[in-house]
Amino acid sequence: MASSNYTEALGRLQTEGTDSLLATSIDSFDTEQLCGAFLREEAKVAGAIASCLPTIASLVDELVPRIRAGGRLIYVGAGNSGRVAFMDCSELPATFSADPNQFLALVAGGPSALIQAREEAEDSRAAGAANLVALDVHSKDTVIGISASGRTPFVLGALESAIQGKALTAGVTNNQSSDISRLGLNYVITALVGPEFIAGSTRLKAGSAAKQILNMISTCLMIKLGKTHGCLMLDVRIKNNKLRTRGRRIVRQVCGSGPLYLLGEDGALSPQVINAIGTVESDAAIDIHIQRCGGSVKLACAVAMSGFDCDSAKCMLDLVNGNFQEYIKRLSKQAEPAKPLRSEDTDLFIAIDGGGTHCTASIATRSGVIARAAAGACNVNCVRTDDLIQQINTATTRALTILYEEHPRYLRGADRLPRFTKVWAALAGLHHAHNPEAVLCRLEELFSVSEHDGSLRLTSDDMLLSACVGIDDSVEYGISIIAGTGSVATAFRKAPDGEMVQVGRAGGWGYLIGDHGSAFDIGRMAVQAILTRLEQSQDEGGHQLSDLERTVLDRLGCTEQDLLSTIFHHSSREPKLCIADLAKVVTELGFRDPDPDLQALAILRSAARGLVKLIEPLARKRIRDPRVCSLIMSGALLRLLPYRDLVMNEWTREQMPLFRKLVVVDNASECAAKFLAKDCRHSASSRK
């Protein structure tokens, strides 16, 4: 019976059907008529793909940041689909200097199936899943399964495994309502090419569609990654005579009719400037120039156009993520190549606020110039050390890009990151971290600084707010309270040498046992309210949802019954962040003007009481009397005036003394970067 159902289902597939008009006449066609009929069928492919363009474009847009962050693009296919995938994948390193470890093709039956068909290999769903598990797929990766029928077991198994690994997933098929469309993939690209010229021969129109779609995805991705310039494959690597000629031509086309600045024998810029006119001598000079740029045509163009040395040009390319258009824009803002700075002009200070949701890096100079940028989460206890360092590196590089754009005199060439005079890295979760030494070593390596000589300071993120007291000459003491994804309170004082010293701490226990008054705490109370109401009404045959309950369920896209399973298993975000995100719903309803939602407001008042309980132990006279210190508030929640008012109202209700000063900090890393620069100036003047 199962075999009968399988055969019956197979017969219903569009790709297994026949064109009745073509079927009645094909046997009578002469050869030219056959070729013409074949071509007319193939011409239908472009129209089928055109209807999928919005989906393909969205997929490419999601791919760009993932590949840039080191994620992989993994194609999965069987038979002809696998060969098409392998062909597209294998061309990317040669054409675009793409990292071959980032672009993989998983073919049913393994590499041998590329040469000789192994039809039986596609029938194992378990093999597809096992093959993908072996690749250790994670959330930065993207897995695209190609199956003309939309039901190839090997491909389905691999995609199911990809979903479990939290990867971005997509399917390419040629049949509507297929199994692949019911997996819950992020994207399904359905190119309806109709019956094949020979029924079931999906190497024809279906194969052509798959090839064009994969070519479109990978090529548009490479363009978005900045690996081309004006239809030229700018990132091509010179490997043979044909590519050598092409590389030479690209350099001339990119640089136009202007002069070319070429590298000399020692790798430094040659004083010789030649015009981009094709002569035997100039051809040889350009070939040598490309060679001295490591065979990179893009870097050769960057040096030739700018007059930068090789290291400076590479640094500037890195700062714009290799995007040559952005590189040219930055060049146009500079009248001449960047010159190295004198040592006394090179002091840069950086402070990094590594929070549970995102990381912010702020850069200051002695003259007070500030640049700031952000990247992903940096909680030491929730993010792998490699990923944490990558986020810090990304935020730093983005901040440097802004600094260099506004102040090109600070451009450096010797290293990807400049030498910072002082670095302060403040990371969430560090206070209770299992192995902070590992993070310390990686930061010393990244920034070429040392905790031993004082050029690196590593603390928990709450200490960053002590800088607000450090740059304020009117106070000597402070208590900070942070309410973002998590919560923590810290007390500190200014030492005689200007350094800030921690004298007390409360909270910061993490979401499992603490984080009172935080976004997670608010979201958790909202979820608890829904579950409690559900339990209380289970013998009443249902109940009317409140505004808060309805809005929370709408935000999660689920019902009361599958609330927890959605949070823990079906959300694209980790459960902690999914719950914390619900604080937005609660604050929107609770602070609605007019007509605040009373259920939401009650949750917010409870959270505010939790924050007051955190501050109270630090505000006793034996630690620090509030009347002589600042209260420093930070975090997304405390930037909301109504929530701050709730906290201060609860503080007054507890009959606690008022603080001398209330400071609301929008960006702690900026204050800390200013403090580092001020502290360095103070130290320098003290030595004089």
For 206-219, the three-class secondary structure string (H helix, E strand, C coil) is: HHHHHHHHHHHHHH
Residue 375: strand pairing partners: 359
Per DSSP bridges, beta strands 269-275 and 348-354 are unpaired
Compute the distance between CA of residue 305 and CA of residue 259 in angstroms, rounded to an integer: 8
**Catalytic one of 8, 41, 119, 122:** 122
Phi, psi of 198 (to 5 degrees): -115, 115
Tokens of 137: 């797929």
Compute the distance between CA of residue 416 and CA of residue 404 in angstroms, rounded to an integer: 13
281 catalytic, yes or no? no
Helices marked H in 293-367: 297-306, 310-319, 324-332
Compute the distance between CA of residue 364 and CA of residue 568 in angstroms, rounded to an integer: 41
Give, rounded to a whole angstrom, the gap between the first and last alpha carbons of the chain: 94
Q: Is the bond preceding 594 in cis, omega lying within 30 degrees of 0?
A: yes
Please list, in sequence order, all residues whose beta carbon lies within 8 angstroms of the beta carbon of residue 237, skipping any fewer than 6 positions away.
94, 97, 243, 295, 296, 297
Compute the distance between CA of residue 358 and CA of residue 597 in angstroms, rounded to an integer: 30
Helices and strands (H, E) in the chain, number of each type = 25, 17
Residue 466: strand pairing partners: none
Helices marked H in 504-545: 519-536
Compute the distance between CA of residue 133 and CA of residue 138 in angstroms, rounded to an integer: 10
Contact status, residue 481 vs residue 515, Cβ threshold 8 Å = no
Please list, in sequence order, all residues whose beta carbon lies within 8 angstroms of the beta carbon of residue 230, skipping any fewer than 6 positions away.
253, 254
Closest listed residue to residue 555, CA positions, set 544, 563, 545, 546? 563
Report the length, in residues, of the chain: 688
91 catalytic, yes or no? yes
What CA–CA distances, in Å, run from 580 to 16, 374, 532?
A: 49, 20, 19
**Catalytic one of 42, 91, 476, 574:** 91
Contact status, residue 410 vs residue 373, Cβ threshold 8 Å = no
Compute the distance between CA of residue 383 and CA of residue 458 in angstroms, rounded to an integer: 17
Nearest-10 Cα torsion for 62, 67, 70, 76? 90
Burial class of residue 368 in the structure, from the number of CB atoms within 10 Å of its CB (0-12 exposed, 13-18 middle, 19+ buried): exposed
Please list, in sequence order, all residues whose beta carbon lies within 8 angstroms of the beta carbon of residue 339, skipping any fewer than 6 positions away.
409
The catalytic residue positions are 91, 122
